[in-house]
Structures are given as C-alpha cells and as structure tokens.
C-alpha cells in the first residue's frame, strides 16, 4: 500500500486518501527527481482543507520503504477542487545555487562535499572517487554542473562511472556498478512495449587527443577501421586541458574510442512498474524477437501510480560493463 505524507515543521499528515494519481520520475539530463501528485482538496463533507504550502515536505513511501522525500515547489488548483502539486528532492538545491570556484588536486568526492557543505545541503554516503583532478576552474556555474564536471573528469581518466542523487533527504554519490539491479524485464512477462532507435550521430571511427603546449604537445590517436568501412570516417578531436603524460593520454583515448566506436542503440520501454528501477541503476532486458538479452543503464524513468496500478516508462542506454545474470527458464 502506497502512502503520501505531508510534513510541516509542526506535524506529519497522511494525505493518501486525498490522492488520485502519483507520477514519480527522474532523468540523467535532469538533476532532481520529482513527485507530481493530483488530489481532491476540499473542506466539504468529512474532508478538511489541506493547507499545503511551498517549502513543505512530501514523502512518498509504502509500509516498509521510502521512495521520495522532497520540497513542494509548485501548486495548481481549480474550481472543481482538483489540486496538482510538484515537489523536488534535495538535488534541486544543486541546480538553484551558482558560484565560482578554483579546485586544485582534489577528487570529485572532495569537490561535492565542499559544494554541499557551503550550502548546507544534507549529505549521505559520498563514494570515494580516488582520482585527483589536477585543476578545475568554474565561473558562475550551478553546483550541479560543477559536480558533474568533476564526475566527468574522473570518468574520462579512469573509466569509472558515478551517479549523484538524493535519498532520504540526503545527497549521495554512488558508483554505477554498485547500483546494478538483478531485475529482469522480459517480453511476455512484464514488458508491455518497446521502441528501439539506432544511430551513428554520436559515433566516431577515430579519436585524436592533444595535450600540452605547442612545442611539448603530445598527440595520441586511435582508429576503428572496421566501423569506418561500414559508416565512413568520423573523427572525434579533443584538446585536453589536463596535464597528462603519454600513458595517461593513451588511456583516455582508448576509453573514448571504446565509448564512441560503435553504432549507438537507444531503447525506450514501457512495462509493469518496479520501484527498484530508477535513473542511474541498471536492469537486464530480454526481447527475444530482437535478439536482446543484456544489461542496460536507466537514463530516465517515469513511474505512474493510479489506484492499484503501477506502470513505468524507461529510457535505456547500452553498456558492456554489467555482469551477466543467469536467467532461469522453465
């Protein structure tokens, strides 16, 4: 049984009986997760007016687990007593605040801890990213963009993927491989529909990176001749601002070539809902007619709850980093 709680500084109220529908969603391209609820808010009959205000907290949960805790930002009401409310989790405060910083020889972990500390944003577990970024200079950018510049710099150098999110009212940083779900979405079981798009818009058949100043510049190249024979020559070029030696630059080029040297697949699916499937986690997908039997990261998720119904729409990106899962068949 799902519950929606309305929390003020003075009290906590269960408003589940007022709620008609719930939409809970997140996306890689959007920092905060959001909760949209529609409800009937009337003082007639046995009901009491719900004096929900911006800045109050909404909590979405079941009997044993909390799914969302966030701050009310917008509301809409009409003559028929229908009310729509939108709340965002703690990630919204990384988007709403901007500043300028100079970081030297710090990890993404240390940078995120500094940002949250400066703006009194509560923190949970912040994974140690280990790699020290030589220099990161930002001018008038959102805290979210600053954090992800640090996360991306770490990925470019180490290949490790990290995800920033909010849980229980606290910001957390996790490594994506730590968030792997062994949830299987399968045709004729819990898959309702799918759309598969393929593209070479972001693909590359060669990667060239240059580091250092003119006289001491280092240039490293990598090619995928097989892909070039199929799609033509598409070169990715980057002037690297980090101070890297040849081995470090070679490592970065190899990672970029592995990431870009393929035809990109994008899958969008609709299926029976599972609250464990969220942006930044991963699932295993089986669509036999398309010969799909592998792991995907979740790029966006939209969960819709109406009465006893729970469905979800998710966008997926392909990855070969996920461990295989054994699927039992009858």
Q: What is the pLDDT of residue 330?
A: 46
Q: What is the pLDDT of residue 282?
A: 85
CA quadruple 169, 170, 173, 175: dihedral sign: negative
Q: Provide the phi-psi class of 80: left if phi over 0, else alpha when psi is between -120 and 50, else beta.
A: alpha
Q: Which tokens sit at 130?
A: 């280990």
pTM of structure: 0.79
Longest dimension (CA), the chain: 82
CATH superfamily of this structure's domain 93-176:
Baseplate protein-like domains (3.55.50.10)
Q: How many residues does the chain have?
A: 330
Q: What's the gap between Cα 208 and its chain centre?
A: 29
**What are the domain boundaries of the chain?**
3-88, 93-176, 187-199+264-269+276-318, 206-260
List the pLDDT tens digit at each of the 330 positions of the chain. Answer: 799 999 999 999 999 989 999 999 999 888 999 999 999 877 665 566 788 999 999 999 998 899 999 999 999 988 878 899 999 999 999 999 999 999 999 999 999 999 999 999 999 999 999 999 999 999 999 999 999 999 999 998 888 989 899 999 999 999 877 766 678 999 999 999 999 999 999 999 999 999 988 778 999 999 999 999 999 999 999 999 878 899 999 999 998 999 899 998 889 999 999 999 999 888 889 999 999 888 888 999 999 999 889 999 999 987 655 555 554 444
Q: Which tokens sit at 279?
A: 């942006």
Q: What are phi and psi of 177, to 5 degrees?
A: -65, -20
Q: What is the pLDDT of residue 58?
A: 97
Secondary structure in 3-state letters for the chain: CCEEEEECCCCEEECHHHEEEEEEEEECCEEEEEEEEEEECCCCCCCCCCCCCCCCEEEEECCCCEEEEEEEEEEEECCCCEEEEEEECCCHHHHHCEEEEEEEEEEHHHHHHHHHHHCCCCEEEECCCCCEEEEEEEEEEEHHHHHHHHHHHHHHHHCCCEEEEEECCEEEEEEHHHHEEEEEEEECCCEEEEEEEEECCCCCCEEEEEECCCCCCEEEEEECHHHHHHHCCCEEEEEECCCCCHHHHHHHHHHHHHHHCCCEEEEEEEEECCCCCCCCCEEEEEEHHHCEEEEEEEEEEEEEEECCEEEEEEEEEECCCCCCCCCCCC
Q: What are phi and psi of 8, to 5 degrees?
A: -115, 180
Q: What is the pLDDT of residue 328?
A: 47
């Amino acid at each position: 049984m799902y519950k929606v709680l309305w929390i003020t500084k003075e009290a906590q109220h269960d408003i589940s009986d007022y709620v008609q529908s719930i939409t809970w969603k997140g996306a890689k391209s959007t920092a905060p997760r959001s909760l949209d609820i529609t409800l009937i808010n009337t003082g007639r009959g046995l009901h009491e007016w719900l004096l929900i205000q911006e800045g109050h907290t909404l909590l979405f949960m079941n009997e044993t687990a909390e799914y969302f805790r966030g701050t009310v930002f917008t509301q809409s009401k009409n003559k028929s007593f229908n009310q729509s409310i939108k709340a965002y989790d703690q990630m919204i405060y990384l988007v709403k605040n901007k500043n300028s910083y100079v970081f030297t020889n710090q990890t993404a972990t240390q940078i995120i801890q500094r940002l949250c500390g400066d703006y009194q944003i509560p923190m949970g577990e912040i994974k140690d990213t280990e790699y020290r970024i030589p220099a990161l200079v930002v001018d008038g950018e959102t805290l979210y963009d600053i954090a992800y510049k640090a996360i991306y710099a770490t990925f470019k150098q180490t290949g490790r993927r990290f995800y920033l999110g909010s849980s229980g009212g606290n910001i957390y940083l996790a490594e994506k491989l730590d968030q792997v779900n062994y949830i299987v979405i399968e045709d004729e079981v819990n898959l309702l529909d799918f759309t598969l798009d393929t593209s070479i818009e972001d693909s590359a058949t060669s990667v060239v990176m240059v580091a250092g100043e003119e006289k001491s510049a280092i240039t490293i190249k990598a090619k995928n001749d097989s892909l070039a024979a199929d799609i033509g020559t598409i070169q990715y070029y980057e002037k690297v601002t980090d101070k890297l030696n040849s081995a470090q630059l070679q490592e970065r080029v190899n990672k970029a070539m592995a990431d870009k040297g393929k035809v990109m697949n994008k899958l969008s699916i609709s299926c029976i809902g599972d609250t464990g499937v969220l942006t930044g986690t991963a699932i295993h997908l089986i669509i036999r007619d398309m010969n799909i039997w592998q792991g995907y990261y979740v790029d966006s998720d939209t969960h819709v709850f109406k009465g006893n119904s729970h469905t979800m729409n998710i966008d997926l990106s392909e990855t070969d980093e996920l461990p295989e899962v054994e699927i039992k068949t009858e």
